[in-house]
Amino acid sequence: MRAAGIARDPGKDGSAALCCRLVNVGTEIFLMKKTIADSQALLGDIAYDAVRDAILANDIKPGDRVSEYKVAEWLGISRTPVREGLRRLENEGLLTPHPRRGLVVASIDDAAMQQLYAVRELLEGAAAASAAEHATEAEIATLRHLVQAEKEIMDEPGRMNEHNRVFHEAIYRAAHNKFLLKFLLITSDTLSAYRNVSTLVIEERRKQVLDEHAEICEAISRRDAEGARAVMVRHVRNALKVRVQLQHSELLNEIRQRGGPGLLSKHIKRGGEGGPRG
């Protein structure tokens, strides 16, 4: 009997042609499977990116349920790649399993926030030190430009928040360490998911950030690795202090609703929480 799809060539026994044909059919099957796998991986990336972006934009908030079925329906794809995308987000800490509700957007308590900032302190300190040693002159010029540009947007918390992200990512890349960059970006995304209000709504913090960014840039420009590390560590520690203040402020909900950068600042000036000190 002939195997389906396999034709023997004429000859003594056609064994050589048969083997060749089998190899070709096997290759075709392999390529078909690989194409399907690649397609599933691509759809998994789409699901991952879509949910991740929604979390980072605070469209879905800490504690909100993320349904595999709903995401698949929303994106118009099957549940298999969605499941893979959500698994990646769970591994990165953006989603967490709930015993009764399935996957939910991760929330964070003070202890976990301390742990996350401790990791950020180590990684960003290392990035600043490495940037001082490895940054190109063009990258240093970019950092100087970013610091200068910040002065023009001091009264715009939203723009300064985005600018702050760009400044830090410029340092990550100037460190020229692809593994460090990978972990920094994951840590940054995780932190962004937990921060539903930026500390830069506080006027004093914006001024402090500008000064600290200038110090970090100056240390990197001098090729002072340990100096850059020290300033970055102080910068992260100050950010944590203000973050904890903000999380426990009675005006947090009001800031979220109104987006008013001066609300908490005025409260701190009255002595209700204490200003951001280093």
Q: Which of 39-48, 115-124, 210-219 has the lowest mean pLDDT?
A: 39-48
At 157 the pLDDT is 86
What's the rounded mean pLDDT across residues 209-224? 98
Whole-number Å distance between alpha carbons of 263 and 278: 22
Name the E strands within the chain.
95-98, 102-105
Whole-number Å distance between alpha carbons of 244 and 253: 15
| DSSP string across 182-222 | HHHHHHHHHHHHH-SS-GGGSHHHHHHHHHHHHHHHHHHHT
Q: What fold is seen in the domain 110-269? A: Four Helix Bundle (Hemerythrin (Met), subunit A) (1.20.120)
Amino acid at 148: Q
Task: Locate the domains of the chain by residue range.
Answer: 15-105, 110-269
**pTM attached to this predicted model:** 0.63
Give me the architecture of the 15-105 domain, per CATH.
Answer: Orthogonal Bundle (1.10)
250 pLDDT band (50/70/90 cuts)? low
Whole-number Å distance between alpha carbons of 185 and 235: 18
The total number of residues written for the chain in this structure: 278
Q: Which of the pair, 229 or 162, is modelled with greater confidence? A: 229
Intrachain domains 15-105 and 110-269 with the same fold: no
Whole-number Å distance between alpha carbons of 92 and 129: 25
9 pLDDT band (50/70/90 cuts)? very low
At 132 the pLDDT is 98
State the residue for tokens 């420009």: 221
